[in-house]
Amino acid sequence: MDGSRKPLAKVESRRRMRLSGLTVVYRGTPDLDDWVAYIASGTQSRKMILADHTSERKVKKLVAHCQTLSRKEVEKLAKG
């Protein structure tokens, strides 16, 4: 393997949901399907995952959709 190759850049962002007041964090690598979105809560041991191992487009669409949902609806949408 070529040692001069640059590592892939990771992108991370946070969005505060208007209606629910929750903060959604999403991160991943551009052009790869390794994106994850989760609700940032007080404890790091239990994250409520909204999406994982998906594309950047799907994660950003999900975050935009969560802007109009209530807190209960966003938590119901989460997997964990």
| pLDDT value for 45 | 58
Q: Are 66 and 20 in contact (CB under 8 A)?
A: yes
Query: What is the full per-residue pLDDT of the chain (80 aa) written as tens digits?
Result: 566 777 788 999 999 999 999 999 999 999 899 999 999 875 555 678 999 999 999 999 999 999 999 999 998 998 75
Q: In the chain, what are the domain boundaries?
A: 11-77
Residue with tokens 């935009």: 64
Rounded alpha-carbon distances, angstroms, from residue 43 to 22, 23, 48: 14, 13, 10
Locate 27 and state its tokens.
């991160």
Question: What is the rounded distance in angstroms from the CA atom of residue 5 to the CA atom of residue 58?
Answer: 29
| pLDDT value for 80 | 54
